Amino acid sequence: MTTTPPLSAVAQDYLKLVWNAQEWSDAPLTVKALAQRLGVTAGTVSEGVRRLADVGLIDHARYGQIALTPAGRVAALAVVRRHRLVETLLVETFGYSWDEVHDEAEVLEHAISDELERRIDIHLGHPTHDPHGDPIPTADGEITIPAARHLGDLEAGECGVVTRVSDADPALLQRLAQERVVPGEHVRVTGRDSASALMFVAPLPHAEESGSTSSAPFGITALRHVWVVPG
């Protein structure tokens, strides 16, 4: 990636959160929304955003939407790459489950060197996605985001391949793993009850499996944290 001036861990966190907020959503990102994600006051975020705007990493019209500049995108994707490589390393090498890795990666992403990042990438065989299905940017800052829909928006009878799951709720991750609603699995919505806000989802049987798989109930809102490629 293009070399950028050294950034503090806080600045890196801001840039990464701006990227994450807009990676799978077209909704505008405001100071208030960013403050909620960071768990700090709007005044603190306003000052942090102003500093990043002053060095050309963020565009922010007063009281308007926050967006990354081209230089900010490069810097953000460098942090995103380290975070997702670390999460993948923790799962594949150290036996962490996918609901345990986010907080560890939040710390380690600021500590590893460019050389260690390179060696982790080689050790893992140049992975393209992290354990939650999020695409890992290349060393050159390229990233491919699939056209996907929220599983919670599918109707009964519709199918899709799980492509990404938000890592915001560890308990939900544990439940999804238990019911095999994980990246790479082909799932079907077997029922939808809007009155009770419940959906029923089942993974489609693998070729080596006989018979059908059982459906599991989930809250519709919870399944809007899961993205699928329909089909």
Domain boundaries along the sequence of the chain: 1-145, 149-230
Query: What pLDDT score does 210 carry?
Result: 66
Query: What pLDDT score does 5 carry?
Result: 57
Residue 189: φ, ψ to 5°:
-85, 110
Euclidean distance between CA atoms 90 and 22, whole angstroms: 26
Residue 201's DSSP bridge partners are 189, 216
* Alpha carbon of residue 78 to chain centroid: 15
Tell me, what DSSP letter sits at residue 92? H
> What pLDDT tens digit does each residue of the chain (231 aa) get?
444 458 999 999 999 999 999 898 888 899 988 898 888 899 999 999 999 999 999 998 776 889 999 999 999 999 999 999 999 999 999 999 999 999 999 999 999 999 999 999 999 999 999 999 999 999 999 999 989 999 999 999 999 999 999 999 999 999 999 999 999 999 999 999 989 999 999 999 986 776 678 899 999 999 999 999 998
Which of these CATH numbers, 3.30.70.520, 2.30.30.90, 3.90.1280.10, 1.20.1560.10, describes 149-230? 2.30.30.90
By the 8 A CB rule, do 163 and 228 touch?
yes
The highest-level CATH class for domain 1-145 is mainly alpha
Q: Which two tokens stand for residue 129?
A: 């996605």
The three-point CA angle 124-125-129 to 5° equals: 75
Tell me, what DSSP letter sits at residue 128? S
